[in-house]
Chains A and B, each alone.
Chain A
Amino acid sequence: MNSTPIDFFPIVIQFFVAAGFVGITMFATHFIGPKLNTRKKLKPFESGVQSVGNARQPFAIKYFLTAILFVLFDVEVIFLYPYAVNFLELGMSGLITMLLFMGLLLCGLIYVIRSGALDWE
């Protein structure tokens, strides 16, 4: 508990090392490497696929809804990992708590499906 500011000095060193590494590598590659700029090289990299059109386009709100629902239920899965690790220690009370948690989320899922948020057409 008792720590003086000097105990945090390694963190400062670590910070400078990290920042220095980034800075040095960026400048070094800039100066050392050969520069051959071609039209294709300067294009935005899109997983190796030829890029098509402009990225700033309006798209249907349905994608957004699907994405946000995905995030919601994806985050829920994260809570299952620590529970799986501690499954035996938590015992019956842990199971009930977890079932309650999943049950509440299931209510949300039922609401989402029944209210037609996932209907594409």
Chain B
Amino acid sequence: MDNQPVPPLIHQMFLTKAGLYCSERLSIDIVHLNQCINLLLPTFNEEEISKEYEKIFGEDSWNKIMKYRKKLNKKLAESKTFYDALQNKSLIKRGNPKSSPFDDSVQRTFKKFFSNTASKIFLMETKIYNLFVFLVSHSDIQRGQIKGEYFKNLEQNTRTMRLDKNKSEGRF
């Protein structure tokens, strides 16, 4: 099977998502990886790609991985909602301003639900990585390169946040 050409817009979006996946630290990076797969899959002809996939990973493996993806999408949607809630700092102040953020009952419940859903995702990841590498190696995108700007997207954001904090404290 020849390398599948990818439209330039999807090419760019894919590379930004891949950059985000690499520069993400200690959170659910698999969300970005899953978005990469979601972007790349529709560019392929499903019959051809399924035959090619089954040659490498065995019979009926394509149907299995598609079912698996559906499950993972559900789990990711659940865990992402709790993760966003954990990151939202306005919720911490609303509960009990004097206590530390981790003692807050709202935060504790979010953390509990998050750990319940996210722990299952870790055990599902390896097959998704197989699909990601397979799709990249069968498309034109394998020759692409992630620009430095995309890697630093998140790092820049955190840096600006820190600078704002310092300004409010009057250090600058």
Q: Does A associate with B in a complex?
A: no
Q: What residues make up the interface of A, taking CB atoms closer than 8 Å to B?
A: none
**Which of B's residues lie within 8 Å of A, judged by CB?**
none
